[in-house]
Chains A and B, each alone.
Chain A
């Protein structure tokens, strides 16, 4: 009940900010935004829900504080999918995670996708929802893959305008996730930390810091991941993702298909020593083992999470 009340306050702040004129947020609005994200409910450690785990979820209920659901999987749901969503909603706090809002698309937001995303948010009534700093659509082509945007002023303008459009219809806090930088652009004007920081400064938006993606980018592109975290607006980092990656042909890739490696655990621990987050999600997408095999990873993350709170 307390969490719901807090979430309502946050919604009110988000709606108030939407009614302002275009342009970057004022200092006052920025302060409001930071406060809004700080006051979100703290969920703990959870799992990116995959249907293969549906039956097992309930025998491991105590190890799963909340679930992140892929919003796209429940667009125009068939009756079994709708029943699944209702079952999950009745038993877990849910966070909808979008794959294709395409917040970095210079051609704007797809109205059909946004409408479907809004339906899920309205049904689930989450404390927050998320998508990625990426584009997945351009010139009518749906790439089906998260593609990075140049870290440039033009991208910041596009992201700002697209976020406004999204926040006009979705009235819960939105957090955006850093992706792996599979493509680097000659137009890049900002470092990773500057770009993420500016997205937060310009908008009423929080960050979903994917620790695995941060690790992969730091190794592939040779930078210090903790220096990036140090330079981020830490009160805007709401949630973390983690999972194992894979080293292939001289590069790390976000394969999401194996147990979390020691290097990534170390980074997760170091990040949590620097910031306080509301939730951590294990995001396994491929070669998904029985849930029992993932529980030790959840327990380990929880012990790091709790230690960071003490």
Chain B
């Protein structure tokens, strides 16, 4: 059975409406995604939907991003404490959630963003680097990185009773090949 022209036009309208809704919920617009959007600017696609419902859904979405990023970056979350949600909301104004691996991408981009804005405490930079590398390792089939840290951040993250990391210079090797290579190393400090 071939879809009728009516069915096609209903489906096209639904696709445009879904796109308009996706843009509203994520804060994206066509020009920000770099994809031409017929939905962009057509207010009639969302007319009849309660704007309060859209706003509530958008708020749920940003809270979910905050919770997921906090889980992906436990050390950063510990340092920022109650500032974490505010910092993430500021970040999210220009960084939109979309695409596959969006949760990891949020975490990776957020560590980059924070590195250019905050310097305190002294071990923040090492924590951001460590957690950035860990996310990169999680999301890439092939990955190799080597860097130096001034603080023993990995041990500190795993010990909730330790208020600050021990000052200790160490080199970290992050190495991952895909499963066929049978080599997967997220090295301990050496």
Q: Does B97 contact A (CB under 8 A)?
A: yes
Max count, chain B CB within 10 A of own CB: residue among A141, A147, A153, A286:
A141
Does A183 contact B14, Cβ atoms closer than 8 Å? no
Does B33 contact A141, Cβ atoms closer than 8 Å? yes
Does B15 contact A138, Cβ atoms closer than 8 Å? yes
Q: Does B60 contact A (CB under 8 A)?
A: yes
Q: Does A290 contact B (CB under 8 A)?
A: no
- Which one, A21, A142, A185, contacts B100 given CB within 8 A? A142
| Residues on the A chain within 8 Å of B23, using CB | 139, 141
Known A-B contacts A113-B100, A139-B22; the reply to A144 vs B11 at CB < 8 A is: no
Does B53 contact A142, Cβ atoms closer than 8 Å? no
The digit string for A242-269, where 1 denotes a CB below 8 A from any CB of B, is 0000000001010000000000000000
**Chain A minimum-CB-distance residue to B138:** A78
Does B1 contact A158, Cβ atoms closer than 8 Å? no
**Chain A minimum-CB-distance residue to B14:** A106
Q: Does B41 contact A (CB under 8 A)?
A: no
Task: State the Cβ distance, B107 to closest chain A Cβ, in Å.
Answer: 13
| Residues on the B chain within 8 Å of A107, using CB | 15, 18
Does A140 contact B61, Cβ atoms closer than 8 Å? no
Interface residues on A, range: 35 or more
Task: State the Cβ distance, B122 to closest chain A Cβ, in Å.
Answer: 30
Q: Does B67 contact A (CB under 8 A)?
A: yes
The number of residue pairs between A and B whose CB atoms lie closer than 8 Å in the complex comes to: 117
- Which one, A79, A82, A141, A157, contacts B3 given CB within 8 A? A157
Q: Does B180 contact A (CB under 8 A)?
A: no
Q: Does B188 contact A (CB under 8 A)?
A: no
CA distance A190 to B14 in the complex (A): 16
The digit string for B23-55, where 1 denotes a CB below 8 A from any CB of A, is 101101000010101010000000111100110
Does A145 contact B50, Cβ atoms closer than 8 Å? no
CA distance A185 to B138 in the complex (A): 39
Task: State the Cβ distance, B146 to closest chain A Cβ, in Å.
Answer: 20
| Residues on the B chain within 8 Å of A145, using CB | 25, 57, 60-61, 64
CA distance A135 to B17 in the complex (A): 12
CA distance A82 to B57 in the complex (A): 34
Task: State the Cβ distance, B61 to closest chain A Cβ, in Å.
Answer: 5
Known A-B contacts A147-B21, A182-B56, A182-B60; the reply to A141 vs B98 at CB < 8 A is: yes
Q: How many chain B residues touch the partner (CB < 8 A)?
A: 47
CA distance A82 to B180 in the complex (A): 13
Q: Does B173 contact A (CB under 8 A)?
A: no
Task: State the Cβ distance, B24 to closest chain A Cβ, in Å.
Answer: 10
Task: State the Cβ distance, A61 to closest chain B Cβ, in Å.
Answer: 26
| Residues on the B chain within 8 Å of A153, using CB | 10
| Residues on the A chain within 8 Å of B17, using CB | 150
Does A144 contact B103, Cβ atoms closer than 8 Å? yes
Q: Does A273 contact B (CB under 8 A)?
A: no
**Chain B minimum-CB-distance residue to A154:** B10
The digit string for B84-115, where 1 denotes a CB below 8 A from any CB of A, is 00000000000001111011000000000000
The digit string for A32-64, where 1 denotes a CB below 8 A from any CB of B, is 000000000000000000000000000000000
Does B64 contact A106, Cβ atoms closer than 8 Å? no
| Residues on the A chain within 8 Å of B35, using CB | 139-140
Does B25 contact A139, Cβ atoms closer than 8 Å? no
Does B10 contact A182, Cβ atoms closer than 8 Å? no
Does A141 contact B19, Cβ atoms closer than 8 Å? yes
Does A143 contact B15, Cβ atoms closer than 8 Å? no
The digit string for A171-213, where 1 denotes a CB below 8 A from any CB of B, is 0000000000011111100000000000000000000000000
| Residues on the B chain within 8 Å of A150, using CB | 14, 17
Q: Does A137 contact B (CB under 8 A)?
A: yes
Does B15 contact A147, Cβ atoms closer than 8 Å? no
Does A142 contact B49, Cβ atoms closer than 8 Å? no
Does B50 contact A143, Cβ atoms closer than 8 Å? no
Q: Does B179 contact A (CB under 8 A)?
A: yes
Q: A138-B15, A144-B64, A149-B18 are in contact. List 14 more A-B contacts (CB 8 A).
A: A79-B184, A113-B100, A141-B98, A142-B97, A143-B26, A144-B65, A144-B103, A150-B17, A152-B14, A154-B14, A157-B7, A157-B11, A158-B14, A183-B49
Residues of B within 8 A of A (CB): 1, 3, 7, 10-15, 17-19, 21-23, 25-26, 28, 33, 35, 37, 39, 47-50, 53-54, 56-57, 60-61, 64-65, 67, 97-100, 102-103, 137-138, 141, 176, 179, 184
Nearest 5 interchain pairs by C-beta: A186-B48, A139-B19, A138-B18, A106-B15, A154-B10
Residues of A within 8 A of B (CB): 21-23, 76, 78-79, 82, 105-107, 112-113, 135, 137-145, 147, 149-150, 152-155, 157-158, 182-187, 251, 253, 286
